């Protein structure tokens, strides 16, 4: 078994960092790498849950069970879990029904990255309470980006047989001819309601219609590309590739799909630990994070992670990570860019490790483990994908530029 697997085995079974100390260090890391918050403002039944469902790929039931109260007037949904959180959705409750004071929610989330997503049914013009709440929020934070999701477009169609206009025609105004005239008038009237808000010219409007299969509309995620474009404009962190990858599993089994967002979350944490600028200081913490990831993946697959099994995994995968760890530490010695590159590389290595372990367990459950070369290829492919996917995200969290001209890493 390679030197890396021995180090990781020690981190799994004889950790240098106690569970209590690791918890404290991870909490400190999460504070340094604040989770992006999508603050959803809108009436009940205006499409907030459908946006979360479509962006994350979770079912309505999973989202409903995952919501947790966080203030008197708001609840939050953390994706994929509170422990391994990549995105936090804040849902204000009762808007449009009672007066809402956003001060408590502002105090809780003001230090974190935000995108305000206002949801309103495309045919609903009674939005004065929503606008009043938004006015109050923007008075405190005038530069927070705002996306208005004009939802449930089909409710403005002339009849139940009207289909979505394809290709998606709502990117720019004036809208093209041929769209339902009543719907167009309603969309434009809603947009006029925002004219007196701070930075009104920067508000992005995105008509969407996120439905279920039984509703009979195709595609069910109508406008999803436009919504992601708006999100990436408002918060350019590469979130789309990270979250969308949760829907595109190379190994199409439920275990791999369940493990994937956890792997990304651990990779982000490891990347944060990898940004520690002093060589070798971050290594025990990185190994501890990777060890927790191993336990999580094994648990998802219903596998016991004992020393014998771990030795078998290391022997079967046969990937030499020792050079990778050494390379990561040497990268920290590069002036200015060292810790930034180290962060991205550590995250990518952790991501590739997680995906390779996930592949191992998937094959093991099927009873047909392939040769080492297959796992080597999976690791190299996922290492490249991890660097592409996580570099921009971590650079934004660390407030450092991505340097694409640095030499290739070992």
Express each pLDDT in 129-141 by its tens digit: 899 889 988 888 8
Residue with tokens 């060292």: 338
Q: Which has the closest alpha carbon to 331: 342, 340, 344?
A: 342
- Is the pLDDT higher at 68 or at 20? 68
Structure tokens at 268: 């982000």
**For residue range 239-251, what is the model confidence (pLDDT) as tens digits?**
887 776 655 444 4
- Is the pLDDT higher at 2 or at 135? 135
Tell me the C-alpha distance between 399 and 380, whole Å: 28
Q: CB under 8 Å to 28, separation ≥6 — which residues?
A: none
Whole-prediction pTM value? 0.77
pLDDT at 246: 57
* Number of helices (H), then strands (E), in the chain: 15, 9
Q: How many Cβ atoms from other residues are within 10 Å of residue 239's Cβ?
A: 21
Res. 278: pLDDT tops 60: no
**For residue range 176-188, what is the model confidence (pLDDT) as tens digits?**
999 999 999 999 9
Tell me the C-alpha distance between 340 and 335, whole Å: 10
DSSP helix/strand/coil, 348: helix
- Is the pLDDT higher at 235 or at 4? 235
**For residue range 339-362, what is the model confidence (pLDDT) as tens digits?**
556 777 888 888 988 999 999 998
Are 235 and 116 within 8 A, CB to CB?
no
pLDDT at 270: 85
| Confidence category of residue 400, pLDDT binned at 50, 70, 90 | low
Mean pLDDT score of the chain: 81
Least confident residue range of 141-155, 278-292, 297-311, 341-355: 278-292
Q: CB under 8 Å to 325, separation ≥6 — which residues?
A: 4, 7, 283, 349
Res. 323: pLDDT tops 90: no
**For residue range 165-216, what is the model confidence (pLDDT) as tens digits?**
999 999 998 999 999 999 999 999 999 999 988 888 899 999 999 999 999 9
**For residue range 10-24, what is the model confidence (pLDDT) as tens digits?**
666 666 677 777 777
In DSSP terms, which residues pair with 91 in a beta bridge?
A: 40, 75
Rounded average pLDDT over 103-121: 83
Tell me the C-alpha distance between 177 and 187, whole Å: 14
Tell me the C-alpha distance between 243 and 261, whole Å: 8
pLDDT at 155: 95
Q: Torsion over CA of 44, 47, 53 and 55, rounded to 10 degrees?
A: -130
**For residue range 3-55, what is the model confidence (pLDDT) as tens digits?**
666 667 666 666 667 777 777 777 777 766 778 889 999 998 999 999 999 99
pLDDT at 409: 38
pLDDT at 274: 64
How far from 141 is each of 28, 112, 124, 192, 199, CA to CA, in Å? 25, 12, 26, 22, 11
Residue with tokens 């971590």: 394
Rounded average pLDDT over 139-156: 93
Q: CB under 8 Å to 123, separation ≥6 — which residues?
A: 152, 155, 156, 183, 186
Q: Is the dihedral of CA 307, 308, 309, 311 positive or negative?
A: positive
pLDDT at 410: 38
Least confident residue range of 196-200, 289-293, 391-395: 391-395
- Is the pLDDT higher at 24 or at 386? 386
Q: Which has the closest alpha carbon to 162: 143, 178, 185, 146?
A: 178
| Confidence category of residue 406, pLDDT binned at 50, 70, 90 | very low
DSSP helix/strand/coil, 75: strand
pLDDT more than 90, % of the chain: 30
DSSP helix/strand/coil, 195: coil
| Confidence category of residue 337, pLDDT binned at 50, 70, 90 | very low
Residue with tokens 């604040």: 34
Q: Which has the closest alpha carbon to 160: 211, 91, 117, 207?
A: 211
């Amino acid at each position: 078994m390679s030197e890396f697997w021995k180090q990781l085995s020690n981190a799994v079974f004889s950790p240098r960092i106690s569970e209590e100390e690791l918890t404290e260090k991870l909490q400190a890391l999460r504070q340094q790498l604040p989770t992006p918050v999508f603050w959803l403002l809108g009436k009940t039944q205006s499409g907030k849950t459908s946006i979360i469902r479509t962006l994350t790929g979770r079912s309505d039931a999973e989202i409903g069970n995952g919501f947790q109260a966080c203030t008197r007037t708001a609840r939050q949904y953390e994706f994929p879990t509170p422990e391994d959180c990549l995105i936090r959705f804040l849902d204000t409750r009762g808007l449009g029904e009672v007066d809402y004071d956003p001060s408590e929610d502002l105090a809780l989330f003001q230090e974190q990255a935000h995108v305000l997503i206002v949801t309103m049914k495309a045919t609903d013009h009674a939005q004065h309470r929503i606008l009043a709440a938004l006015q109050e929020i923007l008075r405190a934070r005038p530069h927070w980006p705002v996306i208005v999701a004009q939802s449930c477009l089909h409710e403005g169609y002339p009849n139940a047989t009207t289909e979505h206009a394809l290709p998606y025609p709502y990117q720019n105004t004036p809208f093209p001819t041929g769209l339902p005239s009543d719907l167009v008038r309603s969309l434009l009237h809603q947009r006029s309601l925002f004219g007196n808000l701070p930075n009104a010219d920067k508000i992005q409007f995105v008509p969407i219609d996120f439905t279920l299969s039984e509703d009979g509309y195709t595609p069910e995620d109508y406008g999803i590309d436009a919504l992601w474009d708006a999100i990436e404009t408002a918060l350019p962190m590469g979130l789309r590739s990270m979250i969308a990858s949760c829907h595109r599993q190379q190994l199409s089994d439920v275990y791999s799909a369940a493990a994937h967002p956890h792997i990304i979350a651990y990779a982000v944490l490891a990347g944060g630990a990898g940004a520690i600028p002093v060589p070798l200081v971050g290594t025990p913490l990185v190994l501890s994070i990777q060890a927790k990831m191993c336990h999580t993946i094994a648990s998802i697959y219903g596998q016991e992670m004992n020393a014998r099994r771990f030795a078998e995994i290391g022997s079967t995968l046969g990937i030499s990570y020792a050079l990778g760890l050494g390379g990561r530490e040497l990268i920290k010695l590069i002036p200015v860019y060292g810790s930034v590159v180290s962060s991205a590389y550590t995250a990518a290595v952790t991501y590739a490790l997680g995906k390779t372990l996930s592949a191992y367990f998937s094959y093991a459950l099927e009873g047909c483990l392939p040769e080492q070369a297959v796992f080597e290829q999976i690791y190299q492919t996922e290492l490249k994908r991890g660097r592409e996917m996580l570099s921009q995200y971590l650079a934004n969290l660390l407030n450092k530029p991505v340097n694409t001209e640095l030499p290739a890493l070992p």
